[in-house]
């Protein structure tokens, strides 16, 4: 797990390119505190940079950027390849020569022996740049689930890429602020892929590669993955068996590390299950990291104790108070790569995990999306009924109800993203227009003029799963978890997003996998032999902090005079009177800081 950066440009001298990439890597040092390196190819007008977090092969042999023994290809790599031992055995039989025990070198050899087909053989989370010296091609590649970030900018025959937006800003390349990001941010609570805070700087789509032709100075983006379901598994007993085998295998291979690894244990179904499975594999005992609160409504320590009683190993628990939030709030903001209303929880637990001596942890991200763990799986059926109402009636209902129902206004817009924003949106278009002093038509054009990254024809639980996976999890959970954890030099692994486990679950028909009003039933039933009833037979809490209370008590966020816009001042007044969710106040606070 690392951070990467690079520039390909014939405009600058090799020395200027190295200087720019060095500036980028300095900004990324928090994500790779163990080592750093550069590779320059004058013939390709290219410089790769790397910051290393050593987890597999802790020796200097893991130094990057890295090449094969013949220097045919060079790579700067961020991530982990969990099936690298199996691939390495296959490659050795084909004649590949290795000089390290890293998964990085396996990627290079896999490419040299299998070409672009190698990328679909990788099982893990990754974002890398690979330069083929003989073909004069550079490939930017991102994992199939979009776990690891990779941003790029193409201008005037030049390509710049990095793991974080702040590195591209620091490069000195000509980039400008994206004037549309505030609209998207206020609608989503984050900035949805592929867009960023910078104009014409995009996130590489998951499961794709960008091929850069050095001679022509052009790029082509193509998918390298294919979604194939061999057969539907309709027998419930077979489905249970397959889920158990696949998740157990995913946890086992994601525990591979030469550095200390543990598990985030919140006390919910997903983290508890991963902890129990991981404890079976860790012979020396498993390290867990948990957070608890004085506020009883958010405290899950009783459920954490249910799991502690079933495992050995070291159990690190941390009490987080309002004072801690106030003290570290500036650090949380500084860690953000782009504005978001999420990530506070990830920042704190990552801080404590690193403090407890861990370099890598397992996280339960992905289970809710796969097995129907969110209220949206039940609510989505209501959209079809609501959309059948006259738009004038919907607008009237939205204006007569309190703030949380203003999202009804999204259902007056015929666009797939409007359905998602009805389920999870922050501010409706009229309020966004007020907050930004612009026209509502302009807001809607920014949000809905482009083709949607998702499409569907019905309002089923399967549709909810697609929306939650490709929008909420992709744009917010994964991105914020990566940024916040890497700000502490910590790697977060996500077994529920393992490629083979995803294939297994996707082979189970939605009518079996997603049971209405019985969230995660198939997952619970599969592991009912190890998962305590007290953990799953209770209302869903999620990994939440008491932010409604903490932010309302925070002097900066709740200070009405801090906000210049009158509509924003009104929003903050409602927040102080406990009539508004904290995420809206938090969004406005960040927006004001960027004005």
Kindly write down the DSSP assignment for every residue of 445-504, as one continuous string: HHHHSSPPS---SS-SHHHHHHHIIIIIIIIIIIHHHHHHHHTTT-EEE-GGG-HHHHHH
- Reading the block at residue 194, the tokens are 């592929």
DSSP E strand stretches across 371-472? none
| Residue 66 to residue 89: CA distance in whole angstroms | 20
Sheet of 315-319: strands edge to edge?
315-319, 287-292, 261-264, 360-362, 491-493
Beta strands, E only, 108-198 = 124-132, 137-142, 151-155, 158-162
For each successive 10 residues of the chain (595 residues), what is the average pLDDT? 93 94 96 90 92 81 91 97 97 94 96 97 97 97 97 96 97 93 98 97 98 96 80 94 98 92 94 96 88 85 90 93 96 96 96 96 97 93 92 84 81 94 95 96 95 89 95 97 96 97 94 90 96 84 82 91 94 92 96 89
Residue 353 and residue 289 in contact, taking contact as beta carbons nearer than 8 Å: yes
Look at residues 171, 200, 150, 128 and name the one whose alpha carbon lies nearest to residue 12: 171
Q: Report the alpha-carbon distance of residue 376 to residue 104 in Å, rounded.
A: 39
First to last CA, the chain: 34
254 within 8 A of 84, measured Cβ to Cβ = no
pTM above 0.85, yes or no: yes
User: Which DSSP category does 266 fall into?
Assistant: -
Model pLDDT, residue 174: 86
User: What is the pLDDT, as a whole number, of residue 24?
Assistant: 97
Strands 158-162, 2-8: pairing kind:
antiparallel
Query: In terms of C-beta density within 10 A (0-12 exposed, 13-18 middle, 19 or more buried), how is residue 205 classed?
Result: middle
Number of Cβ within 10 Å of residue 42's Cβ equals 10
Cα dist. 184→194, 376, 421, 429, 522 in Å?
12, 21, 11, 10, 36
pLDDT score, position 1: 66
Tokens of 435: 């907050």
Q: Looking up tokens 């409007």, which residue turns up?
A: 418
Per DSSP, what are the bridge partners of residue 319?
292
CA distance 324 to 343: 15
Starting at the edge strand found earlier in the chain, the sheet holding 124-132 runs 66-67, 73-81, 124-132, 137-142, 208-213, 218-223
| pLDDT for position 226 | 74
Distance between CA atoms of 163 and 128, rounded to whole angstroms? Answer: 9
Give the separation between CA 595 and CA 586, rounded to whole angstroms: 15
Nearest to 77 by CA among 143, 130, 135: 130
Task: Report helix angle 344-355 to 322-335, nearest 10.
Answer: 100
Tokens 């939030």 map to which residue?
325
Which residue is it, tokens 């055995």?
89
User: Are the CB atoms for 129 and 88 separated by under 8 Å?
Assistant: no
Report how far residue 259's alpha carbon sits from residue 257's, in angstroms, rounded to the nearest whole number. 5
Whose tokens are 């954490």? That residue is 304
**For 411-419, which contacts have Cβ atoms below 8 Å and span 24 or more sequence positions?**
411/383, 411/386, 411/387, 413/444, 413/448, 415/447, 415/448, 415/452, 416/452, 416/454, 416/455, 416/456, 417/447, 417/448, 417/452, 417/454, 417/471, 418/447, 418/448, 419/380, 419/383, 419/459, 419/467
Nearest residue to 522 (alpha-carbon basis) of 398, 375, 371, 373: 371
| CATH topology assigned to domain 2-223 | 3.60.20
Q: How many CA atoms lie within 13 A of 197 on its CB side?
A: 19
Q: What is the DSSP letter of 57?
A: S
The Cα diameter of the chain in Å comes to 72
- In a 13 Å sphere around the CA of 431, the CA atoms on its Cβ side amount to 24
361 within 8 A of 263, measured Cβ to Cβ: yes
Q: Which is it for the CA torsion 483, 325, 290, 268, positive or negative?
A: negative
Point out which residues pair with 360 in neighbouring strands. Answer: 261, 491
Alpha carbons 115 and 126: distance in angstroms, whole number:
17
Give the other-Cβ count within 10 Å of 22's Cβ: 16
Q: CA 471, 473, 145: angle at the middle one, nearest 5?
A: 95
pLDDT, position 52: 85
């Amino acid at each position: 797990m690392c951070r990467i950066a690079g520039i390909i440009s014939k405009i600058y001298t090799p020395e200027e390119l190295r200087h720019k990439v060095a500036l980028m890597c300095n900004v990324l040092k928090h994500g790779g505190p163990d080592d750093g390196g550069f590779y320059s190819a004058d013939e390709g007008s290219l410089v790769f940079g790397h910051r290393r977090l050593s987890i597999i092969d802790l020796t200097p042999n893991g130094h990057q950027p890295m090449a094969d023994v013949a220097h045919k290809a060079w790579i700067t790599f961020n991530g982990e390849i969990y099936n690298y031992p199996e691939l390495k055995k296959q490659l050795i039989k084909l004649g590949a020569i290795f000089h390290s025990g890293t998964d990085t070198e396996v990627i290079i050899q896999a490419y040299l022996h299998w070409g672009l087909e190698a990328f679909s053989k990788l099982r893990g989370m990754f974002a890398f740049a690979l330069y083929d010296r003989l073909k004069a091609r550079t490939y930017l590649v991102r994992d199939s689930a979009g776990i690891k970030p990779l941003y790029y900018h193409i201008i005037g025959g030049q390509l710049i890429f990095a793991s974080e937006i702040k590195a591209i800003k620091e490069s000195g390349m000509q980039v400008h602020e994206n004037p549309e990001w505030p609209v998207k941010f206020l609608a989503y609570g984050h900035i949805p892929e592929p867009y960023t805070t910078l104009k014409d700087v995009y996130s590489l789509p998951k499961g794709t590669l960008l091929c850069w032709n050095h001679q022509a100075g052009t790029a082509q983006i193509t998918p390298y993955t294919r979604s194939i379901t061999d057969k539907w598994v309709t027998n419930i007993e077979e489905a249970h068996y397959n889920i158990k085998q696949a998740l157990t295998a995913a946890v086992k291979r994601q525990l591979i590390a030469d550095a200390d690894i543990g598990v985030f244990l919140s006390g919910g179904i997903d983290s508890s299950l991963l902890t129990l499975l991981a404890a079976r594999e860790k012979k020396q005992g498993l390290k867990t990291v948990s957070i608890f609160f004085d506020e009883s409504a958010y405290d899950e320590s009783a459920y954490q104790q249910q799991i502690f009683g079933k495992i050995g190993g070291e159990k690190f628990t941390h009490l987080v108070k309002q004072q801690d939030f106030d003290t570290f709030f500036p650090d949380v903001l500084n860690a953000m790569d782009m504005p978001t209303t999420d990530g506070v929880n990830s920042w704190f637990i990552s801080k404590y995990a690193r403090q407890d001596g861990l370099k890598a942890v397992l996280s339960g991200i992905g289970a809710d999306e796969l097995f129907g763990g969110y209220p949206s799986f039940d609510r989505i059926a209501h959209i079809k009924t609501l959309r059948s109402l006259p738009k004038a009636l919907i607008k009237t209902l939205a204006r007569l109800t309190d703030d949380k129902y203003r999202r009804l206004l999204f259902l007056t817009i015929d666009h797939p993203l409007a359905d998602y924003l009805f389920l999870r949106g922050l501010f409706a278009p009229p309020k966004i227009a007020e907050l930004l002093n612009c026209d509502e038509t302009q807001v809607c054009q920014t949000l809905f003029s482009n083709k949607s990254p998702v499409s569907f024809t019905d309002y089923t639980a399967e549709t909810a799963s697609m929306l939650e996976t490709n929008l909420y999890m992709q744009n917010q959970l994964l991105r914020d978890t990566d940024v916040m954890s890497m700000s502490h030099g910590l790697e977060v692994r996500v077994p529920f997003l393992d490629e083979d486990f995803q294939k297994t679950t996707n082979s189970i028909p939605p009518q079996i996998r997603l049971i209405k009003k019985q969230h995660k039933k198939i997952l619970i039933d599969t592991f009912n032999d190890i998962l305590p009833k007290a953990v799953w037979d209770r209302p869903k809490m999620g990994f939440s902090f008491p932010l409604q209370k903490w932010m309302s008590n925070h002097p900066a966020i709740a200070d009405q005079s801090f906000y210049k816009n009158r509509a924003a001042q009104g929003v903050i007044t409602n927040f102080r009177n406990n009539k508004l969710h904290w995420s809206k106040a938090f969004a406005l606070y960040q927006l004001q800081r960027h004005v």
